[in-house]
Amino acid sequence: MKTGPVLTLTDDERQTLASWSRGRSTPARMVLRAKIVLAAAEGSMNKDIAIQVGTSKKTVSLWRHRFAEERLPGIERDAPRPGRTPSIPTATVERILHLTTLEKPTAATHWSTRTLAKEVGVSKATVQRIWSAHGLKPHLGKTFKVSNDPRFAEKLRDVVGLYLNPPDHALVLSCDEKSQIQAKVAADLSLPHAAAAGSRSLRHDDPRL
């Protein structure tokens, strides 16, 4: 049965590990790691060390390998957590927002997660997360109005950021069109023009107001 990497300790390493394993003020996780390494250096198998220190074989293997590769500094810091979702680079987010709001794909009215993911070189899940975070749903309509404002993506991030992380003691309000009353504008106009046209379509004496 495999025992893992063979560990040979220097006198200084053995003294430090022994101190950690007995130290009353040493964090419990460090005590455990020190005991694992000391037992491994004696030639014990992982399964026996796991029983001896009261942990799993997986944990023994992890810290045995970490010490073999990085020595004492390797067990002083915590191991990276598995399954952690890597952050999306800012440049990638900005490119996806730019393409979604300011450009159209070839021979299509709007981007799909598949076509945009292929264009940018990311996964469909990444595109969907960015769309969801910024309230974009081009895939739910037959057409998607693309803004002609070159700073639209920048403004969109600012507005969404205000809702997700408002300043202290601030009240964020959102205003939408009146229920069942829609401004009559051409569907192919971009959003800023459509909003302006809609505001002109209602007079001060209009009964719908």
Q: How confident is the model at residue 200 (pLDDT cuts 50, 70, 90)?
A: very low
pLDDT tens sequence across 100-158: 888 888 878 888 888 998 898 888 888 888 888 877 877 665 555 555 666 666 666 66
Contact between residue 196 and residue 141 where contact means Cβ atoms under 8 Å apart: no
- How many Cβ atoms from other residues are within 10 Å of residue 151's Cβ? 10
In angstroms, the CA 199 to CA 185 distance is 10
| Sequence spans of domains, the chain | 11-76, 90-168, 173-203
| pLDDT given at position 32 | 92
Given a cut of 50, whether residue 203 has pLDDT beyond it is no
Residue 4's pLDDT is what?
75
pLDDT in tens, 47-100: 999 999 999 999 999 999 999 988 988 888 775 555 554 567 888 888 888 888
DSSP state letters, 23-58? -TTS-HHHHHHHHHHHHHHTT--HHHHHHHHTS-HH
Structure tokens at 96: 């996806």
The predicted pLDDT at position 59 comes to 92
Q: Which residues have C-beta within 8 Å of that of residue 172, sequence separation ≥ 6?
A: 162, 163, 166
* Nearest CA among 81, 2, 70, 82 for reference residue 37: 70
- Tokens 């998607």 locate to 144
Does the model's pTM come out above 0.85? no
pLDDT at 64 (0 to 100):
92
Nearest-angstrom CA–CA distance, 28 and 20: 9
